[in-house]
Amino acid sequence: MLDPALLRTQLAATAQRLRDTRGFDLDTAAFEQLENERKALQVRTQELQNLRNTRSKAIGMAKAKGEDVAPIMREVAGIGDELKTSETRLEQIRAQIDAIAAGIPNLPHDSVPHGADESGNVEQHRWGTPRTFDFGIKDHVELGAHHGWLDGDAGAKLSGARFTVLRGDLARLHRALAQFMLDLHAGEHGYLETNVPLIVNADSMAGTGQLPKFEDDLFATQVGEMKRYLIPTSEVSLTNLVRDEIVEDATLPQRYTAHSMCFRAEAGSHGRDVRGMIRQHQFEKVELVSIARPDESHDEHERMTRCAEVVLEKLGLPYRRMLLCTGDMGFSAIKTFDLEVWLPSQNTYREISSCSNCGDFQARRMQARWRNPVTGKPELVHTLNGSGTAVGRALIAVMENYQNADGSITLPDVLRPYFGGAGRIA
């Protein structure tokens, strides 16, 4: 969440920035009213606490002198009743302020272009040249169905819409892609391979900003009184490893990677990308997460994005890097780069990776800190996350870009070791 001091001391200016960059309307009048009441209650609560302490000492002194303490005790009891009421109301006000703060998006970095939606995104560069085909291009659904590799009907029978069953060599290719990405990030890029829970508690979801704002996009489980959530990305589990921790300077930056299932309800996305595996309720991703010193997070952001780009380059997949505008960034980000891979069947680039610097926004929610060696004091870290990359979309891109006229798929060189050296699947 945003720095509370920013809301308390620069409320009007912050609200204007949110309106101009995020299209977010903060009810400043309601916030100001709550803040004024909080201040008054806090002062009164402290006054009552001090008064109770003073009068309690007076009871002891009166007893020592053999005086009647009943009047003082009645006074202390009255103070206690008012104090309890004041403390209860103060907690209610703080909870209301926290609820408002939890729903406010992060403020974009000054280098982020202004824009209302994806039309305001700015292309940074491209890599690779889209292939020219001398036969009719098939999309990934046609290629998969032709061999019985990709079965949406079976997925729907088992679970409903937006689930898919993969079989045979296509399932193996999917596994090989995830294995290749993990090997690359752990072996060459210096990320620590991590296996994390797929089901997390509400504190973990709140820490990275999924709760309370995006609860409708989440799958949840409940056993007895315990409610838990299926992760929409392993960013949640990886980033929360430092929740309520003070990490030492020598350990930074901490870099983690994990391959996991991801689950998204995709509320509000009906009618978009419903064909095939583009947008599924269950999918797999190799995630990258960094915990960094504040003054190094922008360099770490560039490094992380480059690590994701290397995945696509080693696979020989044309892509472009986009700098997202203020209106298209995620809730927690201060700056985001999207990588979009070329899909021949759509004759366009589609997102396959999103790499974001969240600044101290998530760290403040999680109370994730590092010990500054200069001051010796704990300070908030910066958190970053990125797809390195989405496995299902990488599968689609390989299928379509490496397809042959007979329906077979040539394997990129880096994936052939996972197939015993075979050059194609058919």
Residue 270 pLDDT greater than 70, yes or no: no
Residues, the chain: 426
Q: Active-site residue 243, yes or no?
A: no
Catalytic hit among 296, 351, 371, 379: 351
pLDDT tier, 267 (very low <50, low <70, confident <90, very high otherwise)? low
Determine if residue 142 is labeled as part of a ligand binding site.
no
Determine if residue 47 is labeled as part of a ligand binding site.
no
Return the H-helix or E-strand segment holding 332.
none
Determine if residue 292 is labeled as part of a ligand binding site.
no
Per-residue pLDDT averaged across 225-249, rounded? 97
Q: Active-site residue 279, yes or no?
A: yes
- Cβ proximity of 62 and 82 under 8 Å: no
Catalytic hit among 22, 264, 321, 364: 264
pLDDT tier, 56 (very low <50, low <70, confident <90, very high otherwise)? confident
Determine if residue 121 is labeled as part of a ligand binding site.
no
What pLDDT was estimated at residue 272?
52
pLDDT (tens digit per residue) in 92-116: 999 999 999 999 999 999 999 999 9
Q: Is 26 helix (H, G, I), strand (E, B) or coil?
A: coil
Q: How far apart are CA 248 and CA 379, in angstroms?
A: 11
Catalytic hit among 162, 369, 393, 400: 393
C-alpha dist (Å) from residue 76 to 51, 54, 55, 68, 378:
8, 9, 6, 14, 39
Determine if residue 422 is labeled as part of a ligand binding site.
no
CB contact set of 346 (below 8 Å; sequence gap of 6+) = 139
Q: Active-site residue 354, yes or no?
A: yes
Determine if residue 235 is labeled as part of a ligand binding site.
yes
Determine if residue 309 is labeled as part of a ligand binding site.
no
Q: How far apart are CA 344 and CA 140, in angstroms?
A: 10
Determine if residue 297 is labeled as part of a ligand binding site.
no
Per-residue pLDDT averaged across 287-301, rounded? 98
Q: What is the DSSP letter of 67?
A: -
27-103: in CATH 1.10.287.40: yes
What pLDDT was estimated at residue 61?
87
Residue 198 pLDDT greater than 70, yes or no: yes
Catalytic hit among 131, 167, 228, 279: 279
Q: What pairing do the DSSP bridges indicate for beta strands 192-193 and 254-263?
A: parallel
Residue 269 pLDDT greater than 80, yes or no: no
What pLDDT was estimated at residue 246?
98
pLDDT (tens digit per residue) in 365-379: 999 999 999 999 999
> What is the dotted CATH code of the domain comprising 118-425?
3.30.930.10
- Cβ proximity of 298 and 81 under 8 Å: no
| Residue with the larger pLDDT of the pair 55 and 23 | 23
What pLDDT was estimated at residue 170?
98
φ, ψ of residue 329 in degrees (nearest 5): -75, 160
Per-residue pLDDT averaged across 190-211, rounded? 98
pLDDT (tens digit per residue) in 313-367: 999 999 999 999 999 999 999 999 999 999 999 999 999 999 999 999 999 999 9
Query: Encoding tokens for residue 376?
Result: 């010796």
Per-residue pLDDT averaged across 186-199, rounded? 98
CB contact set of 212 (below 8 Å; sequence gap of 6+) = 99, 102, 103, 206
Q: Where are the alpha helices (DSSP H) in 163-281?
A: 168-187, 202-207, 235-239
Residue 252 pLDDT greater than 90, yes or no: yes
What pLDDT was estimated at residue 317?
98
Determine if residue 237 is labeled as part of a ligand binding site.
no
Q: Active-site residue 400, yes or no?
A: no
Residue 197 pLDDT greater than 80, yes or no: yes
CB contact set of 231 (below 8 Å; sequence gap of 6+) = 196, 197, 198, 199, 200, 237, 260, 261, 262, 263
Catalytic hit among 354, 364, 365, 400: 354
Q: How far apart are CA 362 and CA 200, in angstroms?
A: 16
List the strands of the sheet with 348-357, edge to edge: 122-127, 319-323, 335-343, 348-357, 382-390, 282-292, 254-263, 192-193
Mean residue pLDDT of the chain comes to 95
Q: Where are the beta strands (DSSP E) in 293-425?
A: 319-323, 335-343, 348-357, 369-371, 378-380, 382-390, 409-410, 424-425
What pLDDT was estimated at residue 325?
98
Determine if residue 385 is labeled as part of a ligand binding site.
yes
Determine if residue 269 is labeled as part of a ligand binding site.
no
- Cβ proximity of 193 and 182 under 8 Å: yes
Helices (H) and strands (E) in the chain, counts: 12, 18
Q: Can you give the residue ranges of every domain in the chain?
A: 27-103, 118-425
Residue 390 pLDDT greater than 80, yes or no: yes
Of 294, 358, 277, which is closest to residue 1 (Cα–Cα)? 358
- Cβ proximity of 317 and 283 under 8 Å: no
pLDDT tier, 132 (very low <50, low <70, confident <90, very high otherwise)? very high
